[in-house]
Structure 1
Amino acid sequence: MHGSPEARALHDLYPAIDLHADSLMWSRWVNYDLHARHEPPLPFAALGGHVDVPRMKEGGMGAQFFGLVSLPIGQRHGLARVIDEQIDALEGQISRAPHRIIKVRTAAEIEAARARGQVGALLGIEGGHALEGSLDKLAHFARRGVRYLSLCHFSRNELCYPAYGRGRQDDAGLTQFGREVVAACEDLGVVVDLAHINRAGFLEACAMAKRPPIVSHTGVIGAFEHWRNVDDAQLRAIADKGGVVGVIFCPQFLGGDGLAPVVKHLKHIIDVCGEDTPALGSDWDGFIVPTRDLCDAARLPLLTDALLASGMRPEAIGKILRGNVMRVLADVP
């Protein structure tokens, strides 16, 4: 078991919620088993294999958002089907052991799963290209339990432009369809996720938002300057609408390995926006090598120990682990 008794006690009080892991991509591709306890991948060889139910429970996790990934490399059709197949993969794994993991959508359902000893599984689509230009597909995914939509990934799509990648246009905001999608998400109870989108589209989406948006997985420029990270004005735009920002666990975007850079990014968000904005956004299983101390879900209490050692109040840590995300889920019914 990882982490001090103090850290584990905090996880008992605030079972952690992580905003982004791409495990279902591996379940679809290679039948990755969420019920088996896997060994942490070898350092510098880790593209996936970071998350499974036994290690989530060992790490004091209450729920995991699973990213639904489709890669539109020269492809415009069949992307929605890839999303459905990943949802099918999750539902198939849940059916094998529903007493251990259950698909949830609301804060109340996460609490009910906790009372039953289940880990909650939530869904978020990574990239609006998966809609294939159709609001009907957005409604379809909402009916299947999708809880957030990242407007962009690594390429231009019908909604917007990426911060980095194919079709990048830094001065271009949302398209007309992108604005329609933001409004439709709010009507359907789908949280708008602004990971990967360019700054102009990010700020436009925040300006028009009537419900809290999020950034599911990112670093912050105030802690480390990198194209992937968001600046203080973007942080304030999210915070002003009651949203949250999940800090990624990838050293490339954090500016270094180990727990200290993760703590630095979380504390910068608090310095800029207060305690109600930071959250966890690991990007486990997402073609990254995570920081060495957070190489799988079982080690999450080590981050809690590092936050305690930094002098952070236990109540603020509870917000990072769970409370802030639960508030957003309650605010986007």
Structure 2
Amino acid sequence: MLVDLFDFALPPERIALRPAAPRDTARMLVVTPDALADRIVRDLPSQLRRGDLLVFNDTRVIPAQLEGTRGDARIGATLHKREGPRRWRAFVRNARRLRDGDLIDFGAGVAAAARDRADDGSWALEFAGDEPVELLLERAGRMPLPPYIAGKRATDARDADDYQTMFANEPGAVAAPTAALHFTPDLLAALAAAGVDHATLTLHVGAGTFLPVKADDTADHRMHAEWGRIDAATAERLNTVRAAGGRVIAVGTTSLRLIESAAGDDGVIRPFEGDTAIFITPGYRFRGIDGLMTNFHLPRSTLFMLVSALMGLERMQAAYAHAITRDYRFYSYGDASLLLP
């Protein structure tokens, strides 16, 4: 399909620079095949059914953005995928100043050698020393806010909490699974009282999620791989819910992509551990999920293509037009949508 089909005009002022407070007071647009309803996230228990199951991504964002020097050149790096105990693939700013083997000094006693430049322009960074890389990043790194936020304001201390979900447990993401940012303990308790349970899986979100689609046709776009895991107990639980007539509702496109990667043509979700580069566009047949809660996405993005695959392109263009007209807040710190096909 032509990428132009997934374009829409978004006023810059609709981009949220801070999350709603409290988190569950964010607005929520409920989208079904025949209706649009303006709600808030706290209304979620009334929008779901007893026996439904919400699936959250428990990845934890690491301080994956680094600023350093190589000689007199300033080098910026955003880690996006772990390749080994001390080796991360990274998108690098000012990469033309690097050669294989160059040592980048990130300050605070943190340095890494640049290795193996890939066709997409990324470099592998091999961190020096014996300390765990996680400790090095805590010293020298900062929270990797999306470019559409970081380009409008500086990262600050609030983001260390604001950009982590309440489920964050498994370190390794360089972007938050932002749909889950709306959840609070009180909301989870209200959902449980309504008979809606939850489960978790892990997908370490990479910086590739922010890369623009440069191809003219979706068939020519290639996704960056991300590592994920669904254990056997969670897979069995999801299958049991569906067999009993409940719905599996993914919270976030990351949860959805991993469930769909683990689901077979028979609709059975199986344990999964490894990389996924699944790219979902209209025409895709969903096998493992029955709905999605997600934020509002960039024009021409793979994520807007995904929600259009779930609900239909015309339906999502109408939903986004409604959201823009009604002053919904967009992107990572913005409002939510609940998509029920």
What is the TM-score when the length of structure 1 is the normalising length? 0.31
* Structure with more relative contact order (C-alpha pairs < 8 Å, separation 6 or more): 2
Larger Rg: 2
Greater helix share, structure number: 1
* Greater strand content: 2
